[in-house]
């Protein structure tokens, strides 16, 4: 039996890879709004996608990352400023063929480190009960469930935070 080494590389979005980021985000939108039937936020999501990445995901307001496995883009996620002390983890997506292999937690850990480097004191996120693997990943990374901090008009929102 041959032993293959898997190499996960996580890089910030830049001019050279922003089209790949947009493709991953398009897939994420299809997953949210077609597969999971979450309807709230779809208009805003696709409007933002047209101008992605904008200043919300750029230093000093945040950052957006792509995850590659052996040079194949497998996922993405970003951070954007919420207030002077907090940022939001947004748009976490791992392609279906790569789920369940620990890549989500690796990407989450990197985002937490990036948030710390950007001098945020806490990371907020909202997700939905329809995404149990995401919830499990966030809890494993140390997030705690909190009361609503923003609007999420889907039927089963969940709000979480991580404090440094």
Q: How far is the C-alpha of 103 from the C-alpha of 90, rounded, in Å?
A: 16
Strand, helix or coil at 56?
A: helix
In the prediction, which pLDDT does 4 show?
Answer: 52
What's the domain range around 68?
A: 8-119
**Residue 74: inside a domain:** yes
Q: How far is the C-alpha of 136 from the C-alpha of 162, rounded, in Å?
A: 14
**Residue 154: inside a domain:** no
In the prediction, which pLDDT does 6 show?
Answer: 61
Q: Residue 48 maps to which CATH number?
A: 3.40.630.30
In the prediction, which pLDDT does 71 show?
Answer: 87
Per-residue pLDDT of the chain (164 residues; tens, 9 = 90+): 455 556 789 999 999 999 999 999 999 999 999 999 988 878 889 898 999 988 999 989 999 999 999 889 999 999 999 999 999 999 999 999 999 999 999 999 999 999 999 999 999 999 999 999 999 999 999 999 999 999 888 889 999 999 99
What is the number of domains present in the chain?
A: 1
Q: What pTM does this model have?
A: 0.91
Looking at the chain, how many residues does it have? 164
**Residue 139: inside a domain:** no
**Residue 40: inside a domain:** yes
**Residue 20: inside a domain:** yes
Closest-CA residue to 95 (of 133, 63, 143)? 133
In the prediction, which pLDDT does 8 show?
Answer: 81
**Residue 107: inside a domain:** yes
Q: How far is the C-alpha of 144 from the C-alpha of 68, rounded, in Å?
A: 28
Q: Which two tokens stand for residue 106?
A: 């690796």
Relative orientation angle of helices 103-117 and 132-141, to the nearest 10 degrees: 50
**Residue 134: inside a domain:** no
**Residue 161: inside a domain:** no
């Amino acid at each position: 039996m041959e032993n293959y080494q898997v190499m996960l590389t996580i890089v910030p979005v830049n001019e050279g890879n922003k089209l790949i980021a947009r493709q991953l985000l398009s897939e994420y939108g299809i997953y949210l709004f077609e597969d999971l039937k979450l309807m709230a936020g779809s208009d805003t999501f696709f409007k933002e996608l047209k101008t992605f990445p904008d200043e919300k995901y750029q230093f000093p307001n945040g950052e957006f990352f792509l995850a590659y496995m052996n040079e194949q883009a497998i996922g993405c996620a970003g951070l954007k400023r919420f207030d002077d002390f907090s940022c939001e983890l947004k748009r976490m997506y791992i392609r279906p063929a790569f789920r369940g292999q620990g890549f989500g937690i690796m990407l989450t850990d990197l985002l937490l480190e990036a948030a710390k480097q950007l001098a945020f004191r806490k990371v907020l996120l909202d997700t939905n009960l329809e995404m149990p693997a995401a919830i499990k990943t966030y809890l494993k990374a140390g997030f705690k469930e909190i009361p609503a901090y923003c609007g999420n008009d889907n039927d089963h929102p969940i709000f979480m935070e991580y404090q440094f």
